[in-house]
Amino acid sequence: VGEGGEITYKKIQSSQIMGSIQLGIQHAIGGLASKPERDLLMQDFMTVETTNFPSEGSNHTPAHHYSEFKFKTYAPIAFRYFRDLFGIQPDDFLMSMCSAPLRELSNPGASGSIFYLTNDDEFIIKTVQHKEGEFLQKLLPGYYLNLDQNPRTLLPKFFGLYCYQCNSKNVRLVAMNNILPSSVKLHQKYDLKGSTYKRKASKSERVKNSPTYKDLDFMEHHAEGIFLEADTYTALIKTMQRDCRVLESFKIMDYSLLVGIHNLDEAQREKTDARKRNDSHSDDEDGDKKGLNRTRSINRQRLVAHSTAMESIQAESEPIDEEEDVPPGGIPARNARGERLLLFIGIIDILQSYRLRKKLEHTWKSMIHDGDTVSVHRPSFYAQRFLDFMAKTVFKKIPSSLKHSPSKRK
Ligand code: ATP
Ligand code: CA
Ligand code: CA
């Protein structure tokens, strides 16, 4: 946060970054239309296109009221191919990214990155460090070899890499799929790594409106874990094993499983409570409007193909009750009390390779704490511990006693 309370990144106002990158992306997508579709070539991964955006406009760029800037688009043809792989039409991508103002996420990580969410909830744009941007560029060909073979994955899907340059400052940005729906209340949110060292949400995090909890908090809140149908459990763990093998092959570590939990039974109770409160008051117009907006976004099909949590793990289940207005694709589950849950999950923050990683003091400490002194094996150690934690502590096969609990749907 900069002077005057405005959010800034590298001393540039966030609103200026948002507006400028929308102009940049619009121009980049527009420019692609003239380039015919063709097979990808290796050099497509290396190309960078740079465009100047003077405030007064130019032959190919519109006038604008932001500071003059340069916009770089990395590997435009390659990313077009990846968007196509996930069924994203150029017009739809343009509409998502540019037709409405972006929303800034108020709950970012510790690294100081800024996150923007597109208005339709489909994409997240994250600012990344120079090293992370470079790493993604190098990773691209191999990463997409894997995604092309197996698009059913919980791994992040990258749809663009850009650099906004203004006053000799560089802001690098990646566009990726959004994992957490904002149209539905997430009663709990976890960022899980399978480590216990310092893996507790800070005090300042816990007082937030929708805090992101960590491993130790999860073990406290869900001492018995979260229960899935046997088939769903198997599909989930298989997908994570496959994904971790890919990450390990690139020596990637420090990634997390992001888990958003919508508790259907709790939502029901909240609804009933709200109704009771409303009976004693006059009509709540504001609430009504919100309700309308919500249903509209919920009934939309997802733009990015096979990328809901259920599609990612290639699982199917009976649809949940029609009267519940929840977005599609959450993984049905139960907590130890037998309450019905919907999980929205994905793997995030994979752009830190072991080789590129800063040797922060806490890293060494945690290395010793975790008993992992053979550093060459760290990525494989990380993957194994991650998988173990997910398969044994976080997710469990549903025991038959829970299956027949009274709150099971009719
Ligand atoms: P650090 O390196 O300190 O862990 P970071 O700035 O790299 O932080 P991430 O770990 O990538 O940030 O993400 C921080 C938070 O942003 C996550 O806990 C999550 O709430 C949200 N987030 C990140 N990626 C996504 C995504 N693809 N969809 C939805 N939310 C996301
Ligand atoms: Ca992280
Ligand atoms: Ca990070």
pLDDT digits (tens, 9 = 90+) for 180-209: 998 899 999 999 999 988 899 999 899 988
Q: Compare 245 and 3 and report the one with higher pLDDT.
A: 245
Instruction: Name the residue with the closest Cα to ligand 1, atom 13.
Output: 109
Q: Is 107 in the pocket of ligand 1 (CB under 6 A)?
A: yes
Per-residue pLDDT at 292 exceeds 50: no
| Residue owning the nearest CA to atom 11 of ligand 1 | 349
pLDDT of residue 295: 42
pLDDT in tens, 114-146: 999 999 999 999 999 999 999 999 999 999 899
Instruction: Quote the pLDDT of residue 293.
Output: 46
ipTM: 0.98
Q: Determine the pLDDT at residue 280.
A: 63
pLDDT of residue 327: 76
With a cut of 50, say whether residue 408 has pLDDT above it: no
Neighbours of 276 (CB within 10 A): 9
- Check pocket membership of 254 for ligand 1, CB cut-off 6 A: no
Best residue among 103, 115, 176, 183 to mutate for probing ligand 1's pocket (most ligand atoms within 8 Å of CB) is 115
Residue 322's pLDDT is what?
Answer: 54
Highest mean pLDDT among 14-18, 101-105, 240-244, 405-409: 240-244
Q: Is ligand 1 within 6 A of the CB of residue 124?
A: yes
Q: Is 211 near ligand 1, meaning CB less than 6 Å away?
A: no
The mean pLDDT of 42-63, rounded to a whole number, is: 95
| CB distance 110 to ligand 1 below 6 Å | yes
Ligand 1 and 109: CB distance under 6 A = yes
Residue 283's contacts (CB-CB under 8 Å, 6 or more residues apart) are: none
306 CA distance to ligand 3 centroid (A)? Answer: 25
**Residue 410: per-residue pLDDT:** 38
Total length of the chain: 410
pLDDT score of 100 more than 80:
yes
Hey, whose CA ends up nearest to atom 14 of ligand 1?
109
Q: What is the mean pLDDT of the chain?
A: 86
